[in-house]
């Protein structure tokens, strides 16, 4: 149909002329030339009369569509001429919504903190509150009030980081254990009974190896009240072990010595990796040593403000790093402070 070809040629020509039209005046001219009453589209439409009657409605529609398309193109061009800069900026700013999204990087909770939070939940359910205490302590709070004799080897300069202080003032240390917080907690509440857990970072001047770091975490628990016995401690530890390492985990206490508890014990749990049958990790003993504990020494109770004739208590501590290492089979403690994402990304 010749008329359709003419129409499409005219449309093409009009659009290319429009693309080159700059300024309001040129656009007005273009409108007159192509869309005006005497314009080219109107003139071409006169030839509609010459085509067969049955083709006329379709051809008429094609003309209407062409007019609408050209009017829309003109409106676009007018906007482009008028607001060109803004439109360009807007288009440059547009987001391609067909592009695949970028996965947001989500931070993760450090595996040692995950272990700590688990322990907080367990002790929290047993009525213990979390008690934060300073990482920098006087020698007296870190050692003296916890019944460490002045010549105790733990005070050795090689183990303890001493803070430089003016001559003649009290020695100050980076705490070597969270037990330093025990005195703070007792003095805050004595003579009321207390149940607290003391988590936090500790520092010891040790040779760094796959087993030890100069900075590590500790977790301490302390209960003081009337008629508290060793059986209460063992019950508390048993409940903790079953929740932390799985049902059926048993606790074993072996006599030991710590200055701030009497009697003192090493705390073992039945190996949760082999269910006590014996494996490489538990060195085929069926038991894993996880920490130390005992009944609070009367001198420590006294230093905390409790009368040991009336009050008793138990305390203990262990290393969240060691528990995390055992639970997840991590081979080197230095991973924890490395900030290496290859470790962290395994813990969702």
Cis previous bond, 191, omega within 30: yes
For Zn ion (CB under 5 A), the number of binding residues is 5
199 or 291: whose CB is closer to Zn ion? 291
β-strand 194-203 against 129-130: which pairing, if any? parallel
Find out whether 232 and 314 touch, Cβ atoms under 8 Å: yes
Find out whether 274 and 286 touch, Cβ atoms under 8 Å: yes
Provide, rounded to whole angstroms, the least separation between the CB of residue 320 and Zn ion: 20
Does residue 279 belong to the site contacting Zn ion (CB under 5 A)?
Answer: yes
- Token couple for 17: 């002329």
172 or 274: whose CB is closer to Zn ion? 274
Listed residue (298, 330, 280, 260) closest to 115, CA to CA: 330
Provide, rounded to whole angstroms, the least separation between the CB of residue 284 and Zn ion: 7
Query: What is the residue-wise DSSP string for 194-221?
Result: EEEEEEEEEE------SS--SEEEEEEE
The residue range among 34-42, 75-83, 191-199, 271-279 that interacts with Zn ion, by the rule CB under 5 A, is: 271-279
Give the long-range contacts of residues 283-291, CB within 8 A, separation 24 or more. Answer: 287/252, 288/326, 290/318, 290/319, 290/322, 290/323, 290/326, 291/266, 291/267, 291/316, 291/317, 291/318, 291/319
Does residue 35 belong to the site contacting Zn ion (CB under 5 A)?
Answer: no
Q: Site map for Zn ion, 229-268, x if CB under 5 A?
A: ----------------------------------------
Provide, rounded to whole angstroms, the least separation between the CB of residue 270 and Zn ion: 8
Does residue 274 belong to the site contacting Zn ion (CB under 5 A)?
Answer: yes
Provide, rounded to whole angstroms, the least separation between the CB of residue 318 and Zn ion: 18
195 or 322: whose CB is closer to Zn ion? 322
Find out whether 194 and 224 touch, Cβ atoms under 8 Å: yes
Provide, rounded to whole angstroms, the least separation between the CB of residue 130 and Zn ion: 31
Provide, rounded to whole angstroms, the least separation between the CB of residue 280 and Zn ion: 7
237 or 282: whose CB is closer to Zn ion? 282
Find out whether 218 and 200 touch, Cβ atoms under 8 Å: yes
239 or 273: whose CB is closer to Zn ion? 273
44 or 273: whose CB is closer to Zn ion? 273
Those residues whose C-beta lies under 8 Å from the C-beta of residue 217, and which sit 6 or more positions away, are 112, 116, 199, 200, 201, 202, 319, 320, 321
Contact with Zn ion (CB under 5 A): which of 146, 244, 265, 271?
271
66 or 271: whose CB is closer to Zn ion? 271
The residue range among 45-53, 120-128, 278-286, 325-333 that interacts with Zn ion, by the rule CB under 5 A, is: 278-286
Which strands sit side by side in the sheet containing 312-318, from one edge to the other?
Answer: 129-130, 194-203, 215-225, 312-318, 287-296, 261-270, 251-258
Q: Which residue has the tokens 């050795």?
A: 156
Provide, rounded to whole angstroms, the least separation between the CB of residue 281 and Zn ion: 5
Provide, rounded to whole angstroms, the least separation between the CB of residue 273 and Zn ion: 5
The residue range among 74-82, 143-151, 213-221, 280-288 that interacts with Zn ion, by the rule CB under 5 A, is: 280-288
The residue range among 18-26, 93-101, 164-172, 276-284 that interacts with Zn ion, by the rule CB under 5 A, is: 276-284
β-strand 251-258 against 162-163: which pairing, if any? unpaired
Residue 137's alpha-carbon distances to 145, 151, 160, 200, in angstroms, are 12, 19, 12, 13
Provide, rounded to whole angstroms, the least separation between the CB of residue 277 and Zn ion: 7
Question: In the complex, which residues of this chain contact Zn ion (CB under 5 A)?
Answer: 271, 273-274, 279, 282
């Amino acid at each position: 149909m010749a008329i359709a070809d003419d129409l499409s040629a005219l449309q093409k020509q009009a659009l290319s002329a429009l693309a080159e039209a700059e300024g309001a005046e040129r656009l007005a001219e273009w409108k007159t030339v192509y869309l005006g009453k005497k314009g080219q589209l109107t003139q071409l439409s006169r030839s509609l009369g010459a085509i067969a009657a049955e083709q006329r409605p379709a051809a008429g529609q094609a003309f209407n569509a062409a007019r609408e398309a050209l009017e829309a193109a003109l409106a676009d061009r007018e906007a482009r001429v008028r607001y060109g800069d803004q439109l360009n900026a807007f288009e440059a700013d547009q987001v391609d919504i067909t592009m695949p999204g970028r996965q947001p990087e989500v931070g993760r909770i450090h595996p040692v903190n995950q272990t700590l939070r688990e322990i907080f939940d367990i002790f929290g359910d047993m009525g213990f509150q979390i008690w934060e205490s300073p990482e920098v302590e006087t020698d007296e709070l870190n050692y003296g009030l916890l019944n460490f004799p002045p010549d105790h080897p733990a005070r050795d300069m090689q183990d303890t980081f001493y803070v430089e202080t003016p001559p003649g003032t009290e020695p100050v240390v980076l705490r070597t254990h969270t037990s330093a917080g025990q005195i703070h907690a007792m003095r805050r509440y004595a003579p009321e009974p207390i149940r607290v857990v003391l988590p936090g970072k500790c520092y010891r001047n040790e040779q760094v190896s796959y087993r030890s770091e100069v900075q590590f975490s500790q977790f301490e628990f302390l209960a003081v009240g009337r008629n508290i016995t060793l059986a209460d401690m063992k019950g508390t530890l048993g409940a903790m072990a079953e929740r932390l390492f799985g049902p059926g985990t048993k606790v074993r206490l072996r006599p030991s010595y710590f200055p701030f508890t009497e009697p003192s014990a090493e705390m073992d749990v039945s190996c949760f990796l082999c269910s006590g049958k014996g494996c490489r990790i538990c060195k085929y003993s069926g038991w894993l040593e996880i920490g130390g504990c005992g009944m609070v020494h009367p001198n420590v109770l006294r230093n905390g403000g409790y009368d040991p004739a009336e009050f008793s208590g138990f305390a203990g501590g262990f290393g969240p790093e060691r528990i995390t290492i055992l639970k997840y089979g991590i081979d080197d403690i230095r991973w924890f402070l490395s900030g290496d994402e290859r470790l962290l990304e395994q813990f969702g």
